[in-house]
Amino acid sequence: MRVLKMNILFCGFMCLFLVNVHAQKIPDNYKLLYEEDFEGDFTLSSFEFTDAEAWKIGNVDKNHALELHKKSAYSPPVRSPLNIAFIKDRKFGSFILEAKLQQTGKEYGHRDLCLFFGLKDPSNFYYTHIASNADPNAHNIFLVNDAPRTNIANKTTVGFDWGTTEEWHKIRLERDISSGIIRVFVDDMNAPVMEAEDKHFDFGYIGFGSFDDTGKIDNVKIWGPALAPVKHGFF
């Protein structure tokens, strides 16, 4: 009986280990396409913004991070987030993104930070809205398709506790353009906080920001099979 119990415990441990490995695995055909820790000679010129005055390089415990420090002076063409900073000169198709996020605003139901992807133009893109409480307009994956944003997640949690304004959280965003699957993980890399399946857009820019809050981004890594050519100019 004792041997049986030990075997059950070992199998349970191995299953948990294998799930964790699977959740964090980078596919063999993916390579590191982008990496940024906002140190050294990094300048904001490598990003494009809805409002450059709302962003800066902030100091965090002697390190640096990309910081959204105030609301952007920007009116989107359709109802969608106001604060966007995206990586210029690179369009991503299928990808895995990992980064650290810190929410620096007050606590309320829609306290959020966002990840943007598949960005085609100011009226066509996806974004994940990670917020304290879920409702039709918060804590979901959204599609902006020449119309006000629409939630498309087929699975979400009840919300995410950002904690204090000093706490960092690890995020992982996975997107596969062939299947349309989108998955978002926060802190726990074994259980996605939201999932969707949509094929409206293929290659597009990737960015960070918030609907109307503030926060910091650091240690960005993006893996994928390939980049697509880009044209300059967006907003």
pLDDT in tens, 149-167: 999 999 999 999 999 999 9
Q: Give the model's pLDDT for residue 228.
A: 78
The average pLDDT across 183-209 equals 97
The average pLDDT across 145-151 equals 98
60: pLDDT confidence band, cut at 50, 70 and 90?
confident
Yes or no: is domain 29-228 CATH 3.40.50.180?
no
Cβ–Cβ under 8 Å, residues 100 and 171: yes
Least-confidence region, from 5-9, 25-29, 62-66, 135-139: 5-9
Q: Give the model's pLDDT for residue 101.
A: 98
Q: Is the pLDDT of residue 147 over 70?
A: yes
Q: Give the model's pLDDT for residue 76.
A: 97
13: pLDDT confidence band, cut at 50, 70 and 90?
very low
Q: How many CB atoms lie within 10 A of CB 26?
A: 13
The average pLDDT across 52-73 equals 93
Q: Where are the domains of the chain?
A: 29-228
Return mean pLDDT, the chain. Answer: 90
20: left (phi over 0), alpha (psi -120 to 50) or beta: alpha
- CA 41, chain centre distance (Å): 24
Position of tokens 């904001």?
44
